[in-house]
Amino acid sequence: MSRPAKSILVWFRLDLRLDDNPVLTRAVETGRPVIPCFVWSPEDEGAWAPGCASRWWLHRSLDALGESLRERGSRLVLRRGEAGRVVPDLVRETGATAVYWNRRYEPWAVGRDGAIKRRLIKEGIEVKRFNGCLLYEPHAVRNKSGGPYKVFTPFWKACLQRETPEPLGLGDTRLRSPNRWPSSPGLDAFALEPRANRAAEFPHWWSPGEAGARERLERFWESGLADYATERDFPARDGVSRLSPHLRFGEIGPRRLVAKAGSGSGADAFLRELGWREFACHLLYHFPETTDKPLRPEFAEFRWRQDKPGWSAWTRGRTGYPIVDAGMRQLWRTGWLHNRVRMTVGSFLVKDLLIPWRDGARWFWDTLVDADLANNTLGWQWVAGCGADAAPYFRIFNPVLQGRKFDPRGEYVRRWVPELKLVPDKWIQNPWQAPNTVLEEAGVVLGRDYPRPIVDHAEGRRRALKAYDLIKGSSGAAGA
């Protein structure tokens, strides 16, 4: 009697796809039985376990991956618990002689995965790890001194000088199954779904899973890529790809995007945004403390404020600044926020209100379907002026000017702040300055239908600059 073929345990993480997935392709190429698994381990991730919106997405993405694997004659084994215990247990239960996975670069994952690798190798298990989520691994890109980059432009130039790997295709290959499958609970056992009313609108906006990623990609390539460079800053227009959550959960890989992009101003601008994603991961890998501490050490002494009314108004989209409120309401209802508006609402929180950037990062972490630790950290430290490649602290976004420049006809505001829908374009970004007759004709009573500004921007700006001067010993002034 022939002995059972030695199987490979393929550990899926944030790479929930079949196409261009090195861990799966390389395992299938061996010709050995493959046991795909996913371990739900929020205990490992601690404070950075997926938030509410991310868990909603994860549930549907795992469901889609399971269906894709079934179509290939396989299945997805689900387990819950600390991966350092669950993965070795699965190895013993299945008799697998190898474990393959794609790397993750979050601080908690680097240490955990290293410990699991050492344990498995000690037990005689083959371990192979791959790069499935980035174009260039963060440890591979170094400056001339051999250290990490802290400025985006030279980092991206260095990346562009490197060869970009071609995407891997799995074709129509069916996965070879083991003689016996291990037990697996249903996906509902993970209790990932938020309460029904919290994510009620999400299905209208999103189709999680690899098929949804391909559909989104094709739609953007056909109608948005050519004009991306000029349209990407206007939140009322369909000028961005909205691929970020699909990238976050690995339903599509960056190599596939590069291979498809081609050339042209739109493609170049889009690829540069992929570069920022790479840069964010590069920074988090080399400076893991930045999830909670500013990269620029002088900002550790910055005097933030505690402002519960201001925080409540910001999170609820009731600040009295229409572009800010539109963004925060879009975020709550759809789980996503346009990047231009992310910068505007972020600046308002940390500079107009002087509320710590870490609080904003935590809110985004819970409410964004594309919540990514590296991108989230880079974005909030950038807008707070305390991180790498940071805009000068004294660059304080004026929410009225931002609205007038990037939502000149108020289409974005009217969509998400419908109580202002009849306010003329001239006043849509600053209704508190409109003549009473204009507000009466629009049916708006400030303080009843829509709040007055919770802070005067000019005063908030002066207060922020004063706080900045206390740690820098110098002053500056600029507006955006």
Q: pLDDT per residue over 17-27, tens digit each?
A: 999 999 999 99
**Taking residues 72-88, what's their average pLDDT?**
97
Given pLDDT bands bounded at 50, 70 and 90, which one contains residue 478?
very low
Going 148 to 139 to 272 to 155, the CA torsion angle's sign is positive
Sketch the domain layout of the chain as residue ranges.
Answer: 8-132, 134-167+209-286, 297-479
Instruction: Tell me which architecture the domain covering 134-167+209-286 has in CATH.
Output: Alpha Horseshoe (1.25)
pLDDT at 309 over 80: yes
pLDDT at 477 over 50: no
Residue with tokens 């083959």: 126
Closest CA to 179 of 71, 32, 80: 32
pLDDT at 61 over 70: yes
Q: Read out DSSP for 395-449?
A: EE--HHHHHHHHSTT-HHHHHH-GGGTTS-GGGTT-GGGS-HHHHHHHT--BTTT
| Residues 330 and 363: beta-carbon distance below 8 Å | no
Residue with tokens 């505007």: 344
Q: So which residues are the catalytic ones?
A: 273, 276, 304, 339, 357, 380
pLDDT of amino acid 223: 85
pLDDT at 455 over 70: yes
pLDDT at 476 over 90: no
Measured CA distances, 388 to 79, 345, 383 (Å): 38, 20, 11
> Max CA-CA distance within the chain?
92
Q: Look at strands 98-102 and 395-396 and give their pairing.
A: unpaired
pLDDT of amino acid 4: 59
pLDDT at 479 over 70: no
pLDDT at 120 over 90: yes
Chain segment 128-169, per-residue pLDDT in tens:
999 999 999 999 999 999 999 999 999 999 999 998 888 888
**Taking residues 389-405, what's their average pLDDT?**
86
Lowest mean pLDDT among 103-107, 258-262, 390-394, 425-429: 390-394
pLDDT at 397 over 80: yes
Residue 394 structure tokens: 């004294």
pLDDT at 334 over 90: yes
| Residues 205 and 334: beta-carbon distance below 8 Å | yes
pLDDT of amino acid 210: 98
**Taking residues 107-114, what's their average pLDDT?**
95
**Taking residues 446-456, what's their average pLDDT?**
97
Q: Read out DSSP for 73-105?
A: T---EEEES-HHHHHHHHHHHHT-SEEEEE---
Closest CA to 344 of 323, 368, 363, 367: 323
Say which CATH class 8-132 falls into: alpha beta
pLDDT of amino acid 197: 82
Given pLDDT bands bounded at 50, 70 and 90, which one contains residue 62?
very high
| Rounded-to-integer distance, Cα 387 and Cα 349, Å | 16
* 98 backbone dihedrals φ, ψ, rounded to 5°: -150, 150
Residue 291 structure tokens: 């999830």
Given pLDDT bands bounded at 50, 70 and 90, which one contains residue 55?
very high
CATH 1.10.579.10 for domain 297-479, yes or no, is yes
Chain segment 172-203, per-residue pLDDT in tens:
889 999 999 999 999 999 999 988 788 999 99
| Percent of residues, the chain, with pLDDT higher than 90 | 88
Residues with Cβ within 8 Å of residue 231, at least 6 apart in sequence: 224, 237, 239, 240
The mean pLDDT of the chain is: 94
pLDDT at 475 over 50: no
pLDDT of amino acid 399: 98
Q: Look at strands 98-102 and 8-12 and give their pairing.
A: parallel
167 SS3 class: coil
pLDDT at 2 over 60: no
pLDDT of amino acid 390: 61
pLDDT of amino acid 172: 83
pLDDT at 33 over 60: yes
pLDDT of amino acid 419: 97
pLDDT at 5 over 80: no
Residue 239 structure tokens: 């000028």
Residue with tokens 């390389």: 26
| Rounded-to-integer distance, Cα 231 and Cα 475, Å | 34
Measured CA distances, 3 to 6, 7, 36, 71, 127 (Å): 9, 12, 21, 27, 22
